[in-house]
Structure 1
């Protein structure tokens, strides 16, 4: 017999049979799920029911059936206890009805119906006598009539918020009651419509457009909202001419790329108030005014060109500086260890496998490319000569690769420290990740294109902010 050594004397270890082990496992399993079987929950329901705690009994029977829907006793218990709870709810409805508390009566009956429906999900039918439905129908009609009249009175005094509260409640009870949909629409949309008109009167056309848009989303035929939305958009549109980018950097032929990224970014905004002057039309005007596309256009000249295009604003950009640093690939010889197995004899004379490590070398490769761009952007309002945006945008991008190559079995490669193998999981995982690391380095041209795109996104974001 197995023995457990316990100081200062030995005691026999308890023998556990297979039956006991199964029992312990079962008990532990029940503990893990809360010891709540369908049968135990049914017993809880019976106890609650015996104590007159019918609501608690209903919950216990429902939980029992959730675990085993075929539990007949739980279903019978739910029917009995559920009917008691339902009867209490109907008594509450009767009480409110006799006191002429219409709202309380309506919601009391709805609560009874909801309870009946909830119990029905468990295959149990409860009974509501027909006369309750007849009484409820009349009370509901009276209550909705009262709400309807109150809503109309609030509309008459233009208290739209209070009117909406009444019509919303009617819609929740009976969405087909009289013309409540139309009246609810009026209560919701009329204050918005008036707000939009106030924005129009104040010359805040973009704010008006947004309100009209929300009105049209709910009801596209509400008064003249659709037509006024179009007017607000037209009045709020900002026509902008993008001047040729001036390049003061030592990198040639980049202006067209930056302009292309900028225009794409501005178009991507899908801002309804932004209209960009066609570039061909702009070029023709610049040529007519004897300005060279590759030359420098002053602010005064840009304003003149902008006015000729019919623009309200001009966007002037200047590349201040671009620096690109192309990295040099490096290859370092690194010390490491490769594991292998040997067969040795143990103290008992039996053969066993032991891990050994032999020194090896592997190669670590690194490289890095980076670019820096400094760009000055200025947005001018032609009518007021106001500088709407003026900012120097700087972006620095880089890409770096760092990987390892080993001619042996990479799955047995370990890093080295102090002439010993590092076998910790973190050290090994770090080395293995370098073996699997990418080797393709983003080129200078790719990084420059990314920087142009970021410059374009930054500028378009500033323009978008202005047009809000």
Structure 2
């Protein structure tokens, strides 16, 4: 039996040195360290940087008195700078600059209040701020309306947004802003609708209606576009060429669900119940139709296209469970006595055996589908697609003390002391392979997704 020795005893001087290093590293990033840096910046006249450092110190330790005092001191200076910029901008009639400076001052005051530092905010100047703001709003409102009258909608929208940011209820700015947003989209939608560019029209009216459903007749136009551009698809005649019983029924259901979940607003699917009922009423079956059967079915269902598919193969493969004995290591300790007569424990590792299990399984499926126009009876598109679903398991078992158990190093001899996560994962891994039925479902869902993508791509051309 091979033993590997790793002593756990550490000389006192080494332990003390390690503790000192860790303490110094923590001190470098502690509240006191940031206070010291802030004090240096404050002494050098960099009050903004000093305030940021004091702020960090307070965040790290909210009860640090030096940090709180430093932040209050330098924070007041920073606030004073913002107010000075405000006063200067007011003197030069720079309204936007004045408002920006005031808002910066308010934001800074709120930030420090959030960590328990109250500054002396010059509330007496708020009257001046209100006067500047109202004058700025009046001027901006006039400019926004001029832009709107000139039908410069994007520019007007920006102006109205800026106004509403300062005062959400300023005169009729909300209504005027709504016109600036909705009118260009309404015009784009009408123009596209007249030219039967359904998708462009839908995008414009959909964005408009989501903002204001009562704007002119946008909602009705959106409904009209969806109706005019609607492309109905019926799933018929799914066949099974594989050895899996009733697989065509499962795949047809998956494809139907995938198409129903499509994000394409113009795609509509005739569900199987409606399809079966109509065909039954017309005494037509899924087979034995006339040569013009596709057109007949389309006329009956109001469908513009039929989707037919054949599952050609569905192969399931699964290996047997393989197991093998592997070499690992188990930790144990041996009591020793050092030169000074003190006892300590030496860590060693003995080789042990554990079992590793592996298994693999997969399903491969192929499908051929046709997308057929019911107007002409022609095949719009035809394709053969394939899907693959697989699973594998790998786990280990060990009959000894799992907490003391280690895997072997990948290279060289001895235990892999850094591989505990891998060990724990293998010990707790799933031990049962997924069933053929579950993998078939995965492969089928992948096929359905591919068919959905193909149909959606065709619809981009069929419904412009």
Bucket of the pairwise TM-score, normalised by the shorter protein: 0.7 to 0.9
Q: In structure 2, which of residues 313, 319, 325 is the aligned counterpart of residue 334 of structure 1?
A: 325
1:145 aligns with 2:138: yes
**Matched position secondary structure for 1:222:** coil
1:219 aligns with 2:212: yes
1:172 match: 165
- 1:314-325 equivalent positions in 2, closer than 5 A: 314-325=306-317
Give the Cα separation in 1 of the matches to 2:273 and 2:337.
88
The answer (yes or no) to whether the contact 2:31–2:56 under 8 Å persists in 1 is: no
Alpha-carbon spacing, 1:241–1:296, altered in 2? closer, same or farther (3 Å): same
2:7 match: none
- 1:393-415: per-residue Cα shift (whole Å, max 9, x none)? 10122333344455566667777
Give the Cα separation in 2 of the matches to 1:333 and 1:143.
81
1:157 aligns with 2:157: no
1:437 aligns with 2:429: yes
1:269 match: 262
The answer (yes or no) to whether the contact 1:422–1:428 under 8 Å persists in 2 is: no
The answer (yes or no) to whether the contact 1:62–1:78 under 8 Å persists in 2 is: no
Q: In structure 2, which of residues 375, 378, 385 is the aligned counterpart of residue 393 of structure 1?
A: 385
Give the Cα separation in 1 of the matches to 2:277 and 2:157.
57
1:383 match: 375
Q: In structure 1, which of residues 286, 298, 305 is the aligned counterpart of residue 297 of structure 2?
A: 305
Larger relative contact order, structure 1 or 2 (CA cutoff 8 Å, min sep 6)? 2
The answer (yes or no) to whether the contact 2:335–2:345 under 8 Å persists in 1 is: yes
User: C-alpha displacement at 1:366, in angstroms?
Assistant: 3.9
Alpha-carbon spacing, 1:318–1:103, altered in 2? closer, same or farther (3 Å): same
- 1:94-243 equivalent positions in 2, closer than 5 A: 94-97=90-93, 101-111=94-104, 122-129=117-124, 132-243=125-236
Q: Return the TM-score normalized by structure 2.
A: 0.76
Give the Cα separation in 2 of the matches to 1:94 and 1:219.
39
**Matched position secondary structure for 1:178:** coil
1:93 aligns with 2:84: no
Unaligned runs of 5+ in 1: 1-14
User: C-alpha displacement at 1:26, in angstroms?
Assistant: 7.4
1:447 match: 439
Alpha-carbon spacing, 1:299–1:373, altered in 2? closer, same or farther (3 Å): farther
Alpha-carbon spacing, 1:408–1:291, altered in 2? closer, same or farther (3 Å): farther
User: C-alpha displacement at 1:55, in angstroms?
Assistant: 5.5
**Matched position secondary structure for 1:243:** strand
User: C-alpha displacement at 1:459, in angstroms?
Assistant: 1.5
Unaligned runs of 5+ in 2: 1-12
Aligned residues: 437
Give the Cα separation in 2 of the matches to 1:214 and 1:459.
29
Q: CA RMSD in A?
A: 4.5
**Matched position secondary structure for 2:237:** coil
The answer (yes or no) to whether the contact 1:151–1:163 under 8 Å persists in 2 is: yes
Give the Cα separation in 1 of the matches to 2:96 and 2:407.
78
- 1:164-219: per-residue Cα shift (whole Å, max 9, x none)? 22212222222222111111111111111111112211212233223222212212
The answer (yes or no) to whether the contact 1:82–1:119 under 8 Å persists in 2 is: no
2:247 match: 254
Give the Cα separation in 2 of the matches to 1:333 and 1:59.
61
Q: Which moved more, 1:456-465 or 1:348-357?
A: 348-357
Structure showing greater Rg: 1
User: C-alpha displacement at 1:62, in angstroms?
Assistant: 5.8
The answer (yes or no) to whether the contact 1:154–1:162 under 8 Å persists in 2 is: yes
Q: In structure 2, which of residues 22, 38, 56 is the aligned counterpart of residue 41 of structure 1?
A: 38
Give the Cα separation in 2 of the matches to 1:315 and 1:221.
39
The answer (yes or no) to whether the contact 2:41–2:47 under 8 Å persists in 1 is: no
1:457 aligns with 2:452: no
The answer (yes or no) to whether the contact 1:96–1:105 under 8 Å persists in 2 is: no
**Matched position secondary structure for 2:121:** coil
Give the Cα separation in 2 of the matches to 1:144 and 1:238.
50
